Homo-oligomer: A and B are copies of this chain.
Amino acid sequence: MTTTTVSNGIDVRALTETVEAVKDDPSLGAFTFRARSRWQDGTYNTGEIHTFRQDGGEDRSRAAAFTLHGDEPPVLLGANRGPNAVELLLQALAFCYAVGYVANAAARGIEITRMDYEVEGDFDVRPFLGLDGPRPGFTVIRAHGRVSSPNATREQLEELCRYVQETSPVRDSLINPVPVETTLEVV
């Protein structure tokens, strides 16, 4: 007799064990994530994402850093060598929602065969250019998901969407204020 523990590509047994481990020792839940950037030319920067801390220890599971490229489109004085920062923020919300949806679906026995997100955000560049206008950031973000499941009702899928919103780290970081401490070193 075999027990299926993988659902939607998620190891449900490992997920349950993770939840139990963090419940027993809440300090395991504490992470510090990081990203670095290095300016290259004009509006073009490269980025690196590599290690992170969990419960005070460094995670070394990644042999190499992920390299990212950030730039502006020509209309914002760049050369399209990468997406810009606000687009990357929208991408982060899409990925966050998708992971939350698929993982929680697995935990509930809901099989997912498709999960797409389209995220868009309205933004006015005037404050960035030093002109009067609305706030410098997004005035609103809209996320639209498309999900398919062979074994869940519409009501179950909609309830899961509400749950994922409530527990989404990126959504929470957007809808509620996050303190940002910025320091500068002149070298």
Contacts and interface: CB of A to CB of B under 8 A. Distances in A.
Given A61-B74, A95-B37, A43 B10 contact: yes
B59 A73 contact: yes
Contacts of A181: 140-143
A30 to B, nearest CB: 6
B147 A186 contact: yes
Contacts of A182: 97, 142-145, 161, 165, 171
B84 A33 contact: yes
Contact of A177 (B127, B176, B179): B176
Q: Tell me whether chain A's interface is mostly helix, strand or loop, or mixed.
A: mixed
A45 B85 CA distance: 19
Contacts of A92: 85-86, 88-89, 92
A144 B124 CA distance: 26
A3 B32 CA distance: 47
A109 interface: no
Contacts of A77: 10-11, 14-15, 18, 103
A180 B185 contact: no
B129 A41 contact: no
A59 B75 contact: yes
Interface in A119-153: 119-131, 133, 135-149
A146 B96 contact: no
Contacts of A97: 37, 182
9 contacts: A14-B77, A49-B88, A61-B80, A84-B99, A85-B95, A141-B178, A141-B181, A144-B185, A173-B174
